[in-house]
Chain A
Amino acid sequence: MTQLTGPAAIGHASDLDFKQPEPIDLSSGKYVKLWQGPQHPGITGNMSLELTLDGDTIIDCKTHVGYLHRGFEKLMERRTFIQNFTVVCRIAVPEPTFNEYLYSHAVETLSGIEVPERAIWLRTMNLELMRLSSFLMWIGGMSGAFGQYTVPNWTIAYRDYVLDLFEEMTGARIYHMYIVPGGVRAGLPEGFEKRARDIMDGTDKLLDQIERIMYNNSVFKARSKGLGILTADMIDPYGIVGPNARACGVKRDLRKDEPYLAYDQLDFDVITGTASDAYERAYLRLQETRQSVSLIRQCLDKAPKDGPFQADMPNVLHWQVPAGETYVKAECTRGEYGYYMVTDGSEFVRRVHVRGPSYTHAIAVMEKIAVGNNIADVAGLMVSLHNYPPEIER
């Protein structure tokens, strides 16, 4: 495992070489330019890769985003604090809850609002259910990218069971708007705990089956091992976080390093790998999915069954957050997710900047590691980095 003992050990020994490559002469007939996406089953969401090929081999890659730009950060400057709740959850479609939590947490930090104990546990469980749902979808995507279409059918079906739990807990399946400043909107409905445990038991069995059929499959192994290797010396210079960094031995996880919510009361270890190729990253995410199931069970065991789930708050029409500045962050499925918020004491936020892991994973990292690979592996390589384009273009 990489020992992080100082800046040089993390790859900042010298400046990065950003010399622009020689222009490629497309008229020579030797090269072909090909766009993968935005309308392509092998692309993660609404983005595209502009690939230049020499035969089947990629010699240049440029990422293009903007197909889903809705100007969230600009919109938020013109809406009151409570109105922004319909905006923030849409910034990362498969993981809206992290946006809800971080936006609420930023408002609470600047306003000095204390969240009740029960709400802290309900938030933790909500975030872990989100992680589980997102990982299930990702495992299906990864399997599909390598031509195995059985696993996506299983994982999407089980993700739907998790969405059923969200519907019970929050009233909505995708955009929950459940975590609000001061706490959460509701407690758990009757019988929720038993239904959640049943689904967790089923998920455990499903993950065992997936390990057998997908991770032990010789074709999957042959195609993903050695593909898109990230080395430890790339981690800080490229801003790599989350499972992509942990898969090459970098033991960093905000849930452990800077515990928030109830994570300091939960029993779990940071999972690491040894060589961050597509297979290692995929296997690490399978282990983290199992870990998420364990964390949900622990939340069900430990969460207070009664008590307030919302702090006393003023009328939402009159919210005014004191002037200040904060940066709050949490460990989403892909690593550090953060909200930078600046307020000026008015009823509008002065500036919000949303920091998503895809910003660097899908652009700087993808453009570097795609070069030299075969065109057939681009989809798998891209999914192995786990990107959500809306958080890039905000």
Chain B
Amino acid sequence: MNEMLERLQRDFSVSEVTACPPRMTTLKVDKLSAERLIRELRDREGYTHLNFMTCIDYIEDNIFTLVYMLHNYDEKHSLGIHVDISRDNEEMVSIHTLWAQAWTYQRELREMYGIRFPGSPRLDEDFCLEGWDQIPPMRREFDTKKFSEERFGHREGRESEEPRQHMKVELYPNRGGDEK
């Protein structure tokens, strides 16, 4: 395992290798080397299973972190590949030829975060959201409450409390939520 990680660090400009016990390691790779690294892991290192692809929006740093979770069944080990892409140029190389389910993830990421994967099949088809005309909803700046209030308007009987405040005042009045 350590040998493989050292080799990856040397050959693919891998950085920030972090062990996440018990059976996972994460590493960061730059955008240009990512597809080559993932292919290498699949074809030579036994990471043949793509658990999932997802994205984390670090709006404060102006980046999206794409996460590719790969699994090696023989070693019983997972590798989380992190790839940072700029929110101003949200484009990434497609891996749809490596796993059949990858294009579905890419289609979802296109819809939910607005990330482009040139060449990925049916990328611009609606996934969950039919006729969506707002900013991609999983971006941090998309405010679900504001959207809901503007879209659906106010109706009597639909008022709700801020949940934590409600717990403090109504459910645990004697404790006031101050006990640690």
Contact = CB atoms under 8 A, between A and B. Distances in A.
A315 B180 contact: yes
Nearest to B39: A15
A325 interface: yes
Interface stretch (A52-60, A73-81, A275-283): A73-81
Contact of A351 (B56, B121, B144): B56
Contacts of B43: 7, 12
A-side interface mostly: mixed
B177 A315 contact: yes
A360 B98 contact: no
A335 to B, nearest CB: 11
Interface of A: 4, 6-7, 10, 12, 15-16, 18, 20, 65-66, 69, 71, 73-75, 78-80, 83, 236-239, 252, 257-258, 314-315, 317-318, 324-327, 329, 336, 338, 340, 342, 350-351, 353, 355, 359-360, 363-365, 368, 393
B56 A71 contact: no
Contacts of B138: 73-74
B137 A66 contact: no
30 contacts: A10-B48, A12-B42, A12-B43, A65-B128, A66-B126, A69-B128, A69-B129, A73-B138, A74-B138, A74-B144, A236-B49, A257-B76, A258-B76, A314-B180, A315-B177, A315-B179, A317-B177, A318-B177, A325-B18, A325-B20, A327-B24, A327-B78, A340-B54, A340-B67, A353-B52, A353-B54, A353-B67, A355-B51, A360-B101, A363-B101
Nearest to A350: B56
Most chain A CB atoms below 10 A, which of B42, B67, B104: B104
B46 A6 contact: yes
Interface residues of B, number: 51
A284 B20 CA distance: 35
Nearest to B129: A66
B87 interface: no
B146 to A, nearest CB: 12
B158 to A, nearest CB: 17
A10 B98 CA distance: 13
A380 B52 CA distance: 27
B101 A236 contact: no
Contact of A74 (B137, B163, B179): B137
Contacts of B52: 338, 340, 353, 355, 359
Contacts of B76: 257-258
A365 B101 CA distance: 8
B109 to A, nearest CB: 11
Interface string B138-166: 10001010000000000000000001100
A185 B129 CA distance: 37
Nearest to A5: B74
A18 B106 CA distance: 14
Interface of B: 18, 20, 23-24, 26, 42-44, 46, 48-52, 54, 56-57, 67, 69, 73-74, 76, 78, 80, 96-101, 103-104, 121, 126-130, 137-138, 142, 144, 163-164, 167-168, 172, 175, 177, 179-180
Q: Which 5 pairs from chain A and chain B are nearest by CB?
A: A66-B128, A360-B101, A15-B97, A353-B54, A364-B100
Contacts of A12: 42-43, 48
Contacts of B49: 236, 239
B57 to A, nearest CB: 8
B3 to A, nearest CB: 18
Contact of A83 (B69, B144, B163, B180): B163
Nearest to B96: A18
B69 to A, nearest CB: 6
Given A18-B121, A252-B73, A327-B78, A336 B51 contact: yes
B20 A326 contact: yes
B42 A359 contact: no
A183 B26 CA distance: 28
Contacts of B56: 342, 350-351
Contacts of A66: 126-130
